[in-house]
Amino acid sequence: MKSRLLVVLVLLVALGVSGAAQRSVKPALHGRHWMAITGKPLGATAGAMIFQKGGNAVDASCAMLAAVCTMWDTLGWGGETQALIYNPTTGKVIGINALGVAPTGATPEFFRSKGMAYPPEYGPLAAVTPGTPGGLMVMLAEFGTMCLKDVLEPALQMADGYPIEQQAADAIERQKKEIKKWPSSVKVFLTHQGEAREAPNAGEVFKQPDLAATLRKLVEAEQQALKAGKTRKDAIYAAYDRFYKGDIAREYVRGSRELGGLHTEQDLAGWKVYVEEPVATSYKGIDVYKLTTWVQGPVMLQALNMLEPMDLKSMGYNSARYIHTLYQVMNLTYADRDFYYGDPYMPPATPIKGLLSKDYARDRAKLINWDQNDANVKPGDPYPFQGGTNPYQKFLANWPPAPPRPTGAEGSRTFDEAFTAGTTSIEAADEQGWVVSITPSGGWIPATIAGTTGVGMSQRMQAFVLDEAMSPFNVATPGKRPRSTLTPSLALKDGKPYLAFAVQGGDTQDQNLLQFFLNMVEFGMTVQRATEAANFNSYQMHSTFGDHKAEPGRMTLNEETPSWVREDLTRRGYKLDFQKLTSGPINAIFFDRRHGTLWGGSSQYGEDYGIAW
């Protein structure tokens, strides 16, 4: 009898259907009218302020984006913004591509002449053109209802002075050696120069007068345009032009070039935000939307295509077989990412139709070794699945190429720090049906400040490669977007919003989002429980950051993983390490159609927080 009870207990735990599986550390958020979730409590408050003024989910998202950039929630104003928006009027999902491009002169030959194997991690040479200001203003102009002045008001108050949080304050202190390389950054960040602690203290009022002046210039341009009779939309674009073509742009470029950067005024003036159609796949009746190959998002769609025919539920939540299956599927999809993903607006054209073909997924799944980890997975050939011939077949047999010799110029973070580098995420929804999912990033501490703008420059150049044999689609080229890890997500069911979800964490993002999605769809977890549930992470794909290394077979598991699962995975060839929290800082909104309400989830992994009404 005892052995029988033990078997039943183990089965319940494996399937994730026990009562404990639905308990969570944080309570779920419940709202009827609106919901605002982001990486910091003050950021969520900014969204709530806009909702209380009558704004829609796009207005609130823009206010949260401005706030988290101002408070350096692992990003700054000169970074990049990636968004998905559900428009209830059209019933369509829209993509916002506000990722900057490589500046003039940023070629492989240039970086090699500097003794670099990859573009650097920090400094002005790490910066693409700023994207977040443009992304915010385009979203607001095209899909919001409020003026820029009102949406930027919370961020402006913060730029004038707000009590800085422990995480940001300690990041400044930890990175002060790097900050001291750039006088403009010292002026902003090191408020106690010469003291033992030169960074602000947690709770200290942190003021950014230069940034406040830049934000006021944007508001001034908008208000002048309104007084001249311009529409709300055109007035916002007047502010856009001031940032990218006016005095702000000139000072940004001057500040960049003064420190050795490559940016020109034409780089900023010629850059634009794309309002684009996202890519999608269907998984068991749920349509999942991602941005296309300028980010890593399609890897989750490729993985879902491979997993759909499999009976994951019968394997059991986080059983050894389940973990092994997902790991092998990610091996295959991330190898495709590492080789084929890149800017779709610059040649060569990425084979996205073939990559997202369900026939291609079935073909790739045949390569899975069900007994052992395959440490030598290579990219596939999606071209036949879109009626074409692969022009880069010559690179596949010997992929990956031998890594370049380390130069010491790429950066100072460890492999793990770079691989899992954080940012923030923003999720918002309202009772009119607007839904927004954003994963903004770039310009994080220790950001290089561009002149007197107060704007921290992006560090996204490091995502490029310099060797065509590594990825012919993601070679550093002036005017090109580097393939980013940033990956917001939306899912529809029966044509209506089902989930909005995103997570921070570099190359772990779509790993955690895939597991979160399956937690809900396959194992019936509530949205809050699914954000907290133990995930695992693979390091077999090549890091997007630093020296772009991979660690095949390595896996991070939750420290509560049972011994029999550990032993089974070890037999399959995995090298295991363990952490207490492994969910990733996931934020999500679930749309409860039965009751007409919103459920919010925000994991206990970090400082993410939400407010609902």
Judge whether 2 lies within some domain.
no
Residues facing residue 503 across a β-bridge: 586
Average pLDDT, the chain: 94
- pLDDT tens readout for residues 150-183: 999 999 999 999 999 999 999 999 999 999 999 9
Q: State how far the alpha carbon of 254 is from the alpha carbons of 51, 152, 260, 349, in Å.
A: 38, 25, 10, 34
- Which has the higher per-residue pLDDT, 1 or 269? 269
Tokens found for residue 51: 């909702």
Per-residue pLDDT tens over the stretch 301-343: 999 999 999 999 999 999 999 999 999 999 999 999 999 999 9
Is the distance from CB of 385 to CB of 364 less than 8 angstroms?
no
Distance (Å) of CA 533 to CA 16, 148, 426, 607: 10, 38, 20, 16
Name the percent of the chain lying above pLDDT 90. Answer: 90
Q: What is the pLDDT of residues 46-86, one digit of tens each?
A: 999 999 999 999 999 999 999 999 999 989 999 999 999 99
pLDDT by residue (tens digit) across 497-539?
Answer: 999 999 988 999 999 999 999 999 999 999 999 999 999 999 9
Using CA atoms, how far residue 132 sits from 97, 243, 348, 452, in Å, is 10, 11, 26, 18
Q: Which domain, by its residues, includes 252?
A: 28-161+207-613
**Rg of the Cα trace of the chain?**
23
Is residue 168, in this structure, part of any structural domain at all?
Answer: no
Residue 116 DSSP one-character state:
-
Is there a contact between 579 and 494 (Cβ–Cβ < 8 Å)?
A: no
Give the separation between CA 103 and CA 497, rounded to whole angstroms. Answer: 38
Give 77-125 pLDDT, tens digit per residue.
999 999 999 999 999 999 999 999 999 999 999 999 999 999 999 999 9
pLDDT at residue 510, as a whole number: 97
For residue 553, what are its two tokens? 């077979």
**pLDDT for residue 404:** 83
Using CA atoms, how far residue 302 sits from 283, 312, 382, 549, in Å, is 11, 16, 11, 23
Identify any residues that bridge with 609 across adjacent strands, giving them in sequence order: 38
Side chain identity at residue 546, one-letter code: G
**Burial per residue of 54-86, b for 16 or more beta-carbon CB atoms within 10 angstroms, e otherwise:** ebbbbbbbbbbbbbbbbbbbbbbbbbbbbbbbb
Instruction: Tell me what pLDDT residue 18 has.
Output: 41
Amino acid of residue 294: W
Q: Is 224 exposed, middle or buried (0-12, 13-18, 19+ CB in 10 A)?
A: middle
Phi, psi (rounded to 5 degrees) for 436: -135, 135
519 is a domain residue: yes
Identify the pLDDT of residue 416.
84
Report pLDDT for 396.
96
Look at the block and give the residue holding tokens 């990722």: 99
CB-based contacts of 226, cutoff 8 Å, min separation 6 = 147, 232, 235
- DSSP-assigned states of every residue in 339-353: HH---TTSSSPP-HH
Whether 145 is covered by a domain: the verdict is yes
Count: domains in the chain:
1
Q: What's the whole-number mean pLDDT along residues 263-278?
A: 98
Beta carbons within 8 Å of 288's beta carbon, 6+ residues apart: 280, 281, 282, 300, 301, 304, 489, 490, 491, 517
Question: Which of residues 26 and 197 earns the better pLDDT score?
Answer: 197
Positive or negative, the CA dihedral 560, 563, 564, 570 is: positive
Could you tell me if residue 81 is inside a domain? yes
| Cα–Cα distance for residue pair 114/20, rounded to 1 Å | 56
Let me know: does 465 contact 395? Beta carbons within 8 Å: no
Q: Sorting pLDDT into bands at 50, 70 and 90, what band is 23?
A: confident
Q: Which pair of tokens denotes residue 150?
A: 């009102």
**Inside any domain, residue 222:** yes
Instruction: Judge whether 476 lies within some domain.
Output: yes
Is 451 within 8 Å of 209 (Cβ atoms)? no
Q: Is the dihedral of CA 213, 214, 218, 224 positive or negative?
A: positive
Alpha helices in 399-526 (DSSP H): 415-419, 509-521
Distance between CA 285 and CA 453 in Å, rounded?
48
**CA–CA dist 482, 464 (Å, integer):** 5
Encoding tokens for residue 608? Answer: 């993410």
Q: Which amino acid is at 183?
A: P
377 vs 290: CA distance, rounded Å: 24
State the average pLDDT over residues 216-232: 98
Measuring CA to CA, which residue among 210, 208, 272, 264 is closest to residue 240?
A: 272
Q: Rounded distance, CA 298 to CA 489, Å?
A: 10
Does residue 443 belong to any structural domain of this protein? yes
Encoding tokens for residue 53? 């003024």
Directed axis angle between helix 320-340 and helix 358-365, to 10°? 120
